């Protein structure tokens, strides 16, 4: 399998470059999750990074590789319509638009 040195921005991994395995299409995964063990023996904290284009070329506007940016929310970037339902409101009740 091929790997590519990919920079990380923001969060605890800011400024580090790690080799990330590439998929079948030659791109790194859209999200990169890093489990960090708890010192007290509790459940691990998971750091979530999202893939974004590194830079755009001047002539054709194509991106020149990928980088990962820290996602402090750690939630999915978008819904996979129509197979997923909207998240419940913070109070635990479903949205009023749900039928």
In a domain, 66, yes or no: yes
Answer yes or no: pTM beyond 0.75.
no
Cis upstream peptide for 27 (omega within 30°): no
Range of the domain at 19: 3-70
For the stretch 70-79, pLDDT in tens is 998 877 555 5
For the stretch 2-58, pLDDT in tens is 998 999 999 999 999 999 999 998 889 999 998 889 888 888 889 999 999 887 777
In a domain, 79, yes or no: no
In a domain, 98, yes or no: no
Sheet holding 17-21, edge to edge: 17-21, 3-9, 66-70, 45-53, 31-36
In a domain, 92, yes or no: no
In a domain, 24, yes or no: yes
Domain count, the chain: 1
Q: Which two tokens stand for residue 1?
A: 């399998």
Q: Which two tokens stand for residue 87?
A: 């998240």
Distance CA 33, CA 55 (A): 23
């Amino acid at each position: 399998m091929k790997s590519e040195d990919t920079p990380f921005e923001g969060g605890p991994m800011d400024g580090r470059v790690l080799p990330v395995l590439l998929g079948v299409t030659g791109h790194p995964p859209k999200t990169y999750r890093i489990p960090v063990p708890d010192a007290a023996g509790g459940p691990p904290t998971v750091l979530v990074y999202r893939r974004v284009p590194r830079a755009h070329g001047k002539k054709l506007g194509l991106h020149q590789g990928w980088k990962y940016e820290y996602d402090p929310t750690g939630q999915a970037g978008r819904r996979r319509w129509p197979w997923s339902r909207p998240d419940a409101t913070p109070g635990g009740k479903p949205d009023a638009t749900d039928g």
